Structure 1
Amino acid sequence: MRRTLSLFGLTAVLLAVVLAHPASTPATAQSDALGAHNVYALGVFSYPDHVRAIIDVLVPRTEVIVEARSSDTLWVLVHDLNRTVRGWVEADFLEYEDRKAVLNLPVSAEVMFIASESPRTGDYTAIDLEAYPVIPDRLGGALKIAQSGVVLGSDPHVISKVGDCISDNKNFLSPFGWGDYSLGNYGSLQPVIDQFASSLAFDSQSAYDGLVTNAALDPLFSNPLACQPGESPLRCEYRVHNPAVAVIMFGAQDLLFTPPDQFDRNLRQIVHETIQAGVIPLLSTFPGNLNRWDDAVRYNQIIVQIALDYDIPLMNLWLALEALPHHGLDDDGRHLSVPISTPGDLRGENLQRGYPQRNLVTLQALDAVWRGALEPSMGFLYPDVYTFPAIG
């Protein structure tokens, strides 16, 4: 039954991300927004035509803003209030605050961006993984995303974990939320721990054992106790926890089950949806796999290329683990090695183990994103009430 639903229903979500196509002219923003909502589940199309791709599904009674109409007024271009869904719906299936106002909307023929048809901008096989720093030395578009997040109401004290079992693990960041850690020579990380402490031990709706990229986008894999009907694990997590930053790491499971081209498309969609939600994607390379080393390199090259294409912060965990015994991996050759003492202990020999080392570089990367993007975004919008932390 789940398979049938996936084929004929909500897995249309996996085909697309709802962003404007670069070659199209976006609709003009309205000063007086026209509100509407759907009564029943409603397909969202990439273009006002039934032969075009269904790129999303509006769950029943989703509040939307109507931006524009097609020339024949049979379709309207809408986005939801969280700006995680944007596309064309049939006009007659919405209930409007003012039905007549639809006629006053600008006419548009905008084509929505479809991730599965997005060309890569470079040859990822030529990427040298050792050429990219462990901690992002440039943040690219992170500031702009953070400013969007402030407008949308993202919580600057919250991060989300997005990934497989290596992220859904009590050894990853959680001890810093519980207060069970020793910083040793890294006392300068205390302010960033304080900033995100309330969320570091959260149970994520988009990180669990065996999660692969396509499942993160598929409502069939959502937790029914926390997520709304038709809501993917990724969107559920962003709605439930309202983060400002998402630490995203996939690959360890995908290289076992997901072809490289599909991994590329899926991860691009995850990044797109994260940006649309006003959440900074902190994209991470993943640990190697001693049994499939060449595959691990290839999938990590894809991750780096996506970070470059979307101009987002990249944390090169793969490089950070290179000098560790067994590349920071456990005896099975694919999971991170466990700590000697505790995962929150950032002292001495403990940092020769995979999980403590990942905790260290993740906190350092979060510190860079926080100081370089989140803080300036708050100060930019609220200069009279927000102060910057001292660096050092």
Structure 2
Amino acid sequence: MLLLFLLIAILLVSCSKNSTGNAAGATPTTLIELDTNTPEATATNAATNTPLPTETPSYTATPDTRMPPEQWKSWPVVPQISGTVLDIYQHGQELGRNPNAFSKIGDCQNVKEAFLGFFDRQAVALAESQKGLQETIDNFRGYFNRDGFAVKGGLNAPSSLNPLMSDPTACQPEENPLQCEIRNNNPAYAFVSFELWYQGRSAENYEGYLRQVLDYLISEGVIPILITKADNTEGDDSINYTIAKLAYEYDLPMINWWYTAHTMPNNGMDTTRNDNFHISPEAWTERSYDALETLDRIWKIVRDIR
């Protein structure tokens, strides 16, 4: 019995030592020395290698400071020239347009006797503030006192697109007056003024034909220069509004002749005819100067483009 008691005591002492030391067969814990030169680890490798998304920059659109078409009566007489005009001019130069030639497209208000012709027919006495116009007169000499093939009494917008209205001695078969004029004169600029309109036709109808004229000129690299009219034969100024609307939409120069006319006696109308359509000889002169000043402004901006 005494021997059995001694064996049990020895076993208990052995178990007590193993409980405070390493258990038999266990792997000792190893301390890992940190490399203090290693940067602090990020959450994931993906986050380290993937660049942060770049925020899309926001741009502020250039404000359109032009007056809307509804305010056309307050538009300046001589227009400002836009980048669109420069683009049309450059296209025309690529097509070989004559940078020193212009055409007139329209009705009887635009024939050489009433519009621009006197700048060729006689020496003009320019006011001191207009002396700079002489250079433009000299540059375009020969084109002022010219009618061409797309201007005559009774020629309205539809007629300018009708081959039956073409001059058979100068125009090719199936060529309308507008096409005939551009081919023969090869201008870089064209004054466009269709004042005559058949009574009862709508402004929407007028707009459709005028769009065709503008589209053709622009496609041919010719700068259209629109002109408002002095009269209001339609009764609601819808034709002038339409002209302004298209000038605004196409970003084209528009001479606001209506404004000048309404500073003149009888709004520029010819009292001897008293038809509220034809303008007076005095108005012919004023209208021609408005056109010359506009041509001067355009030409002196585009002439240095190569």
2:231 equivalent to 1:303: no
Deviation sequence 1:14-40 (CA, Å, 0-9, x none): xxxxxxxxxxxxxxxxxxxxxxxxxxx
State whether residues 168 and 204 of structure 1, in contact with CA within 8 Å, keep that contact through their aligned partners in structure 2: no
Structure 1 residues 260 and 152: CA distance shift in structure 2, 3 A: same
Q: CA deviation at 1:293?
A: 6.3
CA distance in 1, matches of 2:91, 2:71: 32
Opposite residue 294 of structure 1, the aligned amino acid is G
Residue 132 (structure 2) aligns with: 188
Structure 1 residues 200 and 257: CA distance shift in structure 2, 3 A: farther
Deviation sequence 1:284-307 (CA, Å, 0-9, x none): 111114xx3634x11000000001
State whether residues 199 and 234 of structure 2, in contact with CA within 8 Å, keep that contact through their aligned partners in structure 1: no
Deviation sequence 1:55-79 (CA, Å, 0-9, x none): xxxxxxxxxxxxxxxxxxxxxxxxx
2:254 equivalent to 1:325: no
2:293 equivalent to 1:364: yes
The worse-fitting range, judged by mean Cα deviation, of 327-336 and 358-367 is 327-336
Residue 284 (structure 2) aligns with: 355
Q: CA deviation at 1:164?
A: 0.4
Which of 219, 226, 251 is the equivalent residue of 1:283?
A: 226
Deviation sequence 1:252-302 (CA, Å, 0-9, x none): 31153632111000001100101111100011111114xx3634x110000
Q: Secondary structure at the match of 1:357?
A: helix
Structure 1 residues 257 and 154: CA distance shift in structure 2, 3 A: farther
CA distance in 2, matches of 1:272, 1:229: 21
Q: Secondary structure at the match of 1:247?
A: strand
Deviation sequence 1:201-246 (CA, Å, 0-9, x none): 1122111001110000110110101100000100100001000100
Residue 71 (structure 2) aligns with: 128
CA distance in 1, matches of 2:69, 2:134: 38
Higher helix share: 2
CA distance in 2, matches of 1:257, 1:222: 25
Residue 137 (structure 1) aligns with: 80
CA distance in 2, matches of 1:142, 1:376: 14
The worse-fitting range, judged by mean Cα deviation, of 171-180 and 194-203 is 171-180
2:100 equivalent to 1:157: yes
Residue 42 (structure 1) aligns with: none
CA distance in 2, matches of 1:367, 1:203: 20
CA distance in 1, matches of 2:257, 2:247: 14
Which of 276, 279, 294 is the equivalent residue of 2:235?
A: 294
CA distance in 2, matches of 1:177, 1:258: 37
CA distance in 2, matches of 1:293, 1:324: 21
Higher strand share: 1
Q: Give 5+ residue unaligned stretches, structure 1.
A: 1-124, 339-352, 382-392
Deviation sequence 1:169-225 (CA, Å, 0-9, x none): 413111112234222332221011111112111122111001110000110110101
State whether residues 112 and 146 of structure 2, in contact with CA within 8 Å, keep that contact through their aligned partners in structure 1: no
User: How does 1:197-216 map onto structure 2 within 5 Å?
Assistant: 197-216=141-160
State whether residues 173 and 201 of structure 1, in contact with CA within 8 Å, keep that contact through their aligned partners in structure 2: yes
Q: CA deviation at 1:138?
A: 3.1
Structure 1 residues 159 and 257: CA distance shift in structure 2, 3 A: farther
Q: Give 5+ residue unaligned stretches, structure 2.
A: 1-67
State whether residues 270 and 280 of structure 2, in contact with CA within 8 Å, keep that contact through their aligned partners in structure 1: yes
User: How does 1:2-81 map onto structure 2 within 5 Å?
Assistant: none
Opposite residue 161 of structure 2, the aligned amino acid is L
CA distance in 1, matches of 2:95, 2:219: 10
Residue 48 (structure 1) aligns with: none
Q: CA deviation at 1:132?
A: 1.0
Structure 1 residues 255 and 139: CA distance shift in structure 2, 3 A: farther
Residues paired across the two proteins, number: 236
CA distance in 2, matches of 1:221, 1:136: 32
Q: Which runs of 4+ in 1 moved over 6 A?
A: none
User: How does 1:80-95 map onto structure 2 within 5 Å?
Assistant: none
CA distance in 1, matches of 2:277, 2:94: 40
User: Per chain length, whose mean CA-contact separation is higher, i.e. which structure has more relative contact order (CA < 8 Å, sep 6+)?
Assistant: 2
State whether residues 164 and 212 of structure 1, in contact with CA within 8 Å, keep that contact through their aligned partners in structure 2: yes
TM-score by length of 1: 0.58
Answer with 1 or 2: which has the greater Rg. Answer: 2
CA distance in 1, matches of 2:176, 2:234: 31
